[in-house]
Amino acid sequence: MKREEIKELIDMFAQANIGKIKIKEGDFEISLEKQGTTVECAPVPVVPQAAPTPINVNVVNEAKPSKNHQAITSPMVGTFYQAPSPGAATFVKAGQSVRKGDTICIIEAMKIMNEIEAEFDCKIVNILIEDGQPVEYGTELFEIEKL
C-alpha cells in the first residue's frame, strides 16, 4: 500500500463507526484500533425451534350415492363449506330442488372462496360431506337426482 492509501484508510477508519480493523495484503499488514474502545462480539444464543407437529387429516366419506342417484363431485382440492359464512343458512338442504347455476356450496382453496354451482336442475338427495371437511378433486359432495 502506498502512503496516500494508508492516510485515506486512517481517515475513513476515524469516521467509521467501528473500533478495530485489520487489513492484510500480501506481505503488508496494518491493524488500527481506536483508543478507549473495546470491541467485543458476544455470541448470539441460538434457540432451537421445535419441529412442527404433523397434522393428520382423515377425510371421512362413508356415505355413497345409491345406484339410482348420481353424485356432484368436487372440482378441486380444498375445504368444503355448506354456507357462505359461519352461522349463515346453508346453500342447500337434503330434499331441496335446485336450478342450473344455483350455488350449492363453497370450496375454499388457498384462501379463495370458490362457489360451486349446480350444472343442471336437480334434487339434493343427500349431503355426503360434513361442513368444514377437506376434500380432494373428485370427492363426492352431494347425492342428487336429475330433474
Specify the pLDDT at position 38. 53
In the chain, which ranges are continuous DSSP H helix? 3-15
Share of the chain above pLDDT 70, in %: 78
> What does the pLDDT look like over 128-144, one tens digit per residue?
999 999 999 999 999 98
- 82 within a domain of the structure (yes/no): yes
pLDDT tens for residues 55-84? 555 545 445 545 678 888 999 999 999 998
Same domain assignment for residues 77 and 129 = yes
Average pLDDT, the chain: 80
82: cell is: 355448506
Report the first-to-last Cα separation within the chain, whole angstroms: 92
On the CB side of 1, CA atoms within 13 Å amount to 16
In a domain, 121, yes or no: yes
Question: Is residue 26 predicted with pLDDT exceeding 90?
Answer: no
Are 140 and 87 contained in the same domain? yes
Average pLDDT over residues 90-99: 91
Domain of 24, in residue numbers? 3-33
The per-residue pLDDT for 143 is: 92
| Shared-domain flag, residues 79 and 136 | yes
- Shared domain for 75 and 142, answered yes or no, is yes
Residue 41 inside a domain? The answer is no
Asked if the model's pLDDT at residue 16 lies above 80, the reply is no
pLDDT at 94 over 60: yes
d(CA 70, CA 91): 19
**For residues 54 and 142, which has the higher predicted lDDT (pLDDT)?**
142
Same domain for 74 and 29, yes or no, is no
Residue 19: inside a domain, yes or no?
Answer: yes
24 and 88 assigned to the same domain:
no
- In the chain, how many domains are there? 2
State residue 87's pLDDT score: 87
